[in-house]
Amino acid sequence: MWFKKKTYPEFWTRYLNHFKSTTNKDFDNQRFLVFDTETTGLDIKTDRILSIGVIAVQGQIIKVSDSFECYVKQNIFNSETIKIHGLLKGGNITKAEESEAIKAFLEYIGNAVLVAHHAAFDIAMINAALKRMNLPKLKNKVVDTGELYKKTKYVKDHKHYSLDALSNIFNIPQHDRHTASGDAYITALLFQKLSSLLQKKKKGLKLRYFFDWI
């Protein structure tokens, strides 16, 4: 049965359709979606997503109206990480089933470029959820603000810089740290500052410049 074409749900087809057109956008027209996930822990196999926060940046401007926030019902539960994100298993926030949340997330992001701090982890968490739904991985291009920071040549080393550390370096006030939306917003401010720095260095921004590390 190796030749049998898999059938995917309608929303996945819609999601894929966004990637069919190959119009090249310049930096200012590109919709960047800065996002963050709060999870039960750091193990991609066993831990689960508790919430996703997304906010759009386009033409260097953060658009509060173009944002997405959702909380996910999970049975997996880690009392250690509750201390960090404050999300209880029950809680009184309206939560969606994981599959519903991922569906809504895909409908929202379309073919936008995703931006996250240490993006590999957040992307892997979402891909793991997609796998549980028998779906392939995300198709979106991804920018990692941690890698972007290295490109600015502020530092010579190859260390990982945490969001906290970079917030301090770039003088970004840390409100709502460890909520998905709060961290997404902080990451968006960081992204603004980093792309502005790179723009100065490169005299104009080429989209390509953001992805060539992938």
Nearest Cα to Cα of residue 54 among 104, 125, 128:
104
Reference 59, options 210, 201, 192, 165; nearest CA is 192
Say whether residue 200 binds another protein (CB under 8 A).
Answer: yes
Closest CA to 21 of 194, 125, 149, 139: 139
Pick from 15, 209, 17, 26: nearest CA to 126: 15
- Of the candidate spans 127-135, 144-152, 188-196, 206-214, the one that interacts with another protein by CB under 8 A turns out to be 188-196
> From the CB of 204, what's the least distance to another protein, in Å?
14
| CB 41 within 8 Å of CB 78 | yes
| 25 and 207 Cβ atoms separated by less than 8 Å | yes
Q: Which stretch binds another protein (CB under 8 A): 12-20, 80-88, 111-119, 191-199?
A: 191-199
Among 103, 149, 193, 210, binds another protein (CB under 8 A): 193
How much is the CA Rg of the chain, to the nearest whole Å? 18
**Among 106, 188, 198, 205, interactor with another protein by CB under 8 A:** 188
To another protein, the closest distance from the beta carbon of 166 in angstroms equals: 15
Q: Does 171 bind another protein (CB under 8 A)?
A: yes
Alpha-carbon gap, residue 204 to 181, rounded angstroms: 29
49 lies in the site for another protein, by CB under 8 A: no
| Contacts of another protein in 148-167 (CB under 8 A) | none
Q: Which amino acid is at 40?
A: T
Q: How far is the CB of 169 from another protein (least distance, A)?
A: 13
CA distance 78 to 40: 6
Task: Output the smallest distance, CB 4 to another protein, in A.
Answer: 42
Minimum CB distance to another protein, residue 67 (Å): 6
116 to 135, contacts with another protein by CB under 8 A? none
51 vs 78, beta carbon nearer another protein:
51
Residue 145 binds another protein, judged by CB under 8 A: no
Q: Can you read off the two tokens belonging to residue 89? A: 């298993």
